[in-house]
Amino acid sequence: MTTTRSITKGKVAGIISNLVIVEADGPFAQNEICFILAGRTKLMAEVIKTERNKAYTQVFENTRGLCIGSEVEFSGHMLEATLGPGLLSGNYDGLMNNLSTMEGIFIRRGDYTPTLDTAGKWDFTPIVSDGDKVIAGDWIGEVTENSISHKIMVPFVLEGDLVVKKIVVSGSYTINDVVAVLTDQSGYEIPVTMTQKWPVKKSLTLYKEKPRPFTMMETGVRTMDILNPMLLGGTGFIPGPFGSGKTVLQQSISRQAEADIVIIAACGERANEVVDLFTEFPELDDPWTGRKLMERTIIIANTSNMPVAAREASMYSAMTLAEYYRSMGLKILLLADSTSRWAQALREMSNRLEELPGPDAFPMDLPSSISNFYSRAGYVYLNNGHTGSITFIGTVSPAGGNLKEPVTESTKKVARCFYALSQQRADSKRYPAIDPIDSYSKYLEYPEFQKTLATLISPDWVEKVDKLKNMLIRGKEAWEQINILGDDGVSVDFHITFWQSEVIDAILLQQDAFDEIDARTPLLRQKYMTDSVMDLLDFPFHFESFDEVQPFFKKIIGKYKQMNYSEFESKAFKDFEDEILSISEGSKMKS
């Protein structure tokens, strides 16, 4: 939509909830934004279907009181995000309105606030010089935004080779001051400021190469890092019935993950969960830099009671911000809670458009919408040789907890990590309720990542992880046998096998997200604990009868739990460890 044209206008011809049919008096484009005048308020809407001169638009607001014949103005562009310094620490709605600068307690209809502050000044340092050749996405200068080096880039929409005609000297500028003038091949001069716009539904692909992910993203959540690690630039999803701890898990990841910037898209979820972030993130420390968590966070909040069409947009807005920061060579973690609510927003509109429905009344193109979205994540080599990554983790809220529903199934095809939350684990308060057997990280099979693990942790790490998984599976099988045949209907070995898996579960997998120390386990400590547990379980245990097995392992688990609650390598930590050793020595002596 780069062609210029005179402004198209139109009139409202039909209203069905937030689907408004507009009769236009000129050309307009699919997905173009238009504004509907309801009295003095302008309601933003997006064209989602076109039929001759009729534009079917989804309105991002409540349409109450709207009348036939109301005036409509087309904007000439698609839904865009405004990009520039000042995004960090911000709280936005799905359309990138700044929630913090809105007046009043309620979000009034048509209340649109600018994404960025235009008055504040930033200390700009040029990176290029007059006469340099550049292309779209190249870094021309930088400012410091919350300790992060925010690169000012050649506008992404520009095409072909450009030349820097003039770049300003270091100094204080607002985002709308011209910091550079570029010329294109025909000598046309293009002024460049620190801010630019990008249509959120288009992916931003100004990089040289997108290799397979190969480095780990530490989350401090043991069951993820040890058994099914997430990678920088990786994709994963967390499906789970309600009450299985999806939200707590995602919040742990957002607090602890190794990322330069965390973008949280609260998409159609509870407002109080967003309030948790607003309240806690300005207080909590980023474990990686010691600065406040809020400094590295952007929150896109389109909670379940906010307009449903803006909910759909919120996911795209969040991804666009992630792509913008990735172009600066940063590590981004994008969390979306929940992709099911996004899919439901698509369903509501498709339903109003009276499209033929697919499974569960979702639109037929749901799988492709989901895979297109996931494919925007990834690890990239930028044109200037720097690297950047977007790690994307989405939650899925399957209806009735049934994983055979369209959103889960479509997501499973594209996401490489699967963290299945199990109701059974949640019911017995084994948190995080990630099922260690059903879940997977396909990345463990990537040779390039196995190489990373060998140098990062230890050469035999992958084997250890395999062994852990096997022990968990064997433990589960033993438990089933015990349940079928009875405690004394099986040999003592079955009990030992089961309790070995219980130790792994209780010590390595279960983690108290609300305990200051246990909540986050750094990789080094994870390795230490894994080695310790596996060494212990390698003991050739001998028990006279099955009823000795449980008390022994319960005792061990009790002590190990205290270790998990103690400061790493503190005296208490070591004391508990010594106690564990002497308990197990005792059992050895008996044999």
Binding other proteins by CB under 8 A: which of 25, 123, 285, 427? Answer: 427
**Minimum CB–partner distance for residue 224 and other proteins (Å):** 21
Nearer to other proteins, 279 or 372 (CB): 279
Nearer to other proteins, 532 or 562 (CB): 562
* The amino acid at 510: Q
For 233-295, where are the E strands, in sequence order? 235-239, 261-267
Near other proteins in 7-26, by CB under 8 A: 13-16, 21
Nearer to other proteins, 107 or 128 (CB): 107
108 makes contact with other proteins (CB under 8 A): yes
Crossing angle of the two packed helices 492-503 and 461-485, in degrees rounded to 10? 130
**Minimum CB–partner distance for residue 236 and other proteins (Å):** 20
Nearer to other proteins, 180 or 557 (CB): 557
Nearer to other proteins, 410 or 441 (CB): 410
∠ CA 126-127-132 to the nearest 5 degrees? Answer: 110
Binding other proteins by CB under 8 A: which of 268, 329, 388, 432? Answer: 268
Q: Report the DSSP beta bridge partners of residue 230.
A: 217
Q: Which 8-state DSSP code applies to residue 119? A: S
Question: Given the rule CB under 8 A, which of 256-264, 370-378, 422-430, 440-448 is the region that contacts other proteins?
Answer: 422-430
∠ CA 110-116-120 to the nearest 5 degrees? Answer: 130
d(CA 118, CA 315): 25
End-to-end Cα distance, the chain: 80
d(CA 129, CA 135): 14
**Minimum CB–partner distance for residue 503 and other proteins (Å):** 13
Structure token pair of residue 427: 């019911």
Crossing angle of the two packed helices 523-537 and 461-485, in degrees rounded to 10? 50
Binding other proteins by CB under 8 A: which of 209, 285, 360, 578? Answer: 360
Which residue, chain included where needed, has tokens 């602890």?
A: 256
Near other proteins in 27-86, by CB under 8 A: 39, 62-69
Near other proteins in 169-208, by CB under 8 A: none
d(CA 418, CA 407): 14
d(CA 550, CA 499): 7
d(CA 378, CA 415): 11
Taking residue 198's Cβ as centre, other Cβ atoms within 10 Å add up to 20
**Minimum CB–partner distance for residue 112 and other proteins (Å):** 13
**Minimum CB–partner distance for residue 410 and other proteins (Å):** 16
Binding other proteins by CB under 8 A: which of 8, 57, 75, 91? Answer: 91
Near other proteins in 216-255, by CB under 8 A: 241-243, 247
Binding other proteins by CB under 8 A: which of 209, 466, 547, 569? Answer: 547
Structure token pair of residue 174: 């607002």
Contact map string, positions 398 to 417, toward other proteins, x by CB under 8 A: -xxxx---------------
Question: Given the rule CB under 8 A, which of 95-103, 409-417, 460-468, 520-528 is the region that contacts other proteins?
Answer: 95-103
d(CA 3, CA 366): 31
Contact map string, positions 111 to 140, toward other proteins, x by CB under 8 A: ------------------------------
Nearer to other proteins, 107 or 163 (CB): 107
Binding other proteins by CB under 8 A: which of 143, 274, 333, 382? Answer: 274
Q: Which 8-state DSSP code applies to residue 128? A: S
Q: Which 8-state DSSP code applies to residue 65? A: T
**Minimum CB–partner distance for residue 558 and other proteins (Å):** 5
Burial 465-502 (b: 16+ CB within 10 A, else e): beebbebbeebbebbebbeeeeeeebebebbbbbbbbb
Question: Within 13 A of 492's CA, how many CA atoms are on the CB side?
Answer: 11
Near other proteins in 298-357, by CB under 8 A: 301, 303-306, 308, 341, 344, 347-348, 351, 354, 357
Structure token pair of residue 476: 């589960």
Binding other proteins by CB under 8 A: which of 462, 477, 562, 581? Answer: 562
Near other proteins in 476-505, by CB under 8 A: 483, 486-489
